């Protein structure tokens, strides 16, 4: 399981933290590290603080966007210190690890960690199925980046040792890139039918809805087939009216 879990650091500002994250990953048998727009990488400070996890750093990939980082992942969770909100599903690291352990064999998952100063932006969270909050002293809930990664990767390692029951999937889970195609298709059809977005947050809410459900590939195809049928029927109706 752990070899299919990807750690994604979004805009890490301190190269030493990247090295410490690599060390935290290797101690828990993880090796897939992706950096989104790091301030400085590669860097001697990263190597120094990796403390023997040089192989994780050497294999790390640098990408331009979160979408690129998670495109082949079927489950994405993002860490946050934001207060709970009814619009999002929140989980502890232990609950998140159980969700990852319950994924079908061969399914890739990603855990997102934001920058040291600002955390994850809303557009980063839009890729997530749930948000992870680490329980801590409310009077001093200060965890650095490597500590946060260590806590989550520890729970993943333990969950691998005592797997729980798994959801029965009819088809493989949809990957993030497939979900992005669905969202683009949905936005296109909503515009075609002139569906009113009275709040200005329609697509954001629809993304959260579908991210929570955990769609499989057959369900993606079904939904896109429905959207294509709606779009086609509207075009035929317009042609019949001479539009």
Tell me whether domains 2-161 and 176-240 share a fold.
no
Confidence (pLDDT) at 160? 82
Interval 111-130: pLDDT, tens: 999 999 889 999 999 999 99
The topology under which CATH files domain 176-240 is Helicase, Ruva Protein; domain 3 (1.10.8)
* pLDDT at residue 163 tops 60: no
Quickly state the pLDDT bin for 13 (edges 50, 70, 90): very high
Confidence (pLDDT) at 218? 95
The topology under which CATH files domain 2-161 is Alpha/beta knot (3.40.1280)
47-53 contact pairs (CB < 8 A, 24+): 47/19, 48/16, 48/19, 49/16, 49/17, 49/19, 49/20, 49/23, 50/19, 50/20, 50/22, 50/23, 51/19, 51/23, 52/23, 52/26, 53/19, 53/22, 53/23, 53/25, 53/26
Confidence (pLDDT) at 41? 96
Domain boundaries, the chain: 2-161, 176-240
């Amino acid at each position: 399981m752990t070899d299919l879990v990807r750690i994604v650091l979004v805009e890490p500002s301190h190269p030493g933290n990247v090295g410490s994250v690599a060390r935290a990953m290797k101690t828990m048998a993880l090796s897939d590290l992706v950096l989104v727009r790091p301030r400085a990488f590669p860097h001697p400070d990263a190597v120094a603080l990796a403390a023997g996890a040089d192989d994780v750093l050497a294999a790390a990939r640098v990408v331009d966007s979160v979408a690129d980082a998670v495109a082949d992942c079927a489950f994405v969770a993002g860490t946050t210190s934001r207060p709970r909100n009814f619009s999002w599903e929140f989980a502890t690291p232990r609950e998140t690890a159980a969700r990852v352990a319950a994924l079908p064999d061969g399914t890739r998952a990603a855990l997102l960690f934001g920058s040291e100063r600002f955390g994850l932006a809303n557009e980063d969270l839009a890729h997530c199925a749930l948000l992870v909050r680490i329980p801590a002293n409310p009077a001093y809930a200060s965890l650095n980046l490597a500590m946060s990664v260590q806590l989550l990767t520890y729970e993943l390692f333990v969950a691998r040792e005592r797997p729980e029951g798994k959801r029965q999937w009819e088809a493989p889970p949809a990957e993030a890139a497939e979900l992005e195609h669905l969202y683009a298709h949905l936005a296109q059809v909503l515009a075609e039918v002139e569906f009113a977005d009275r709040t200005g947050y329609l697509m954001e809410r629809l993304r959260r809805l579908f991210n929570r459900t955990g769609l499989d590939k057959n369900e993606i195809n079904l939904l896109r087939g429905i959207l294509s049928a709606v779009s086609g029927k509207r075009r035929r109706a317009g042609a019949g009216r001479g539009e």
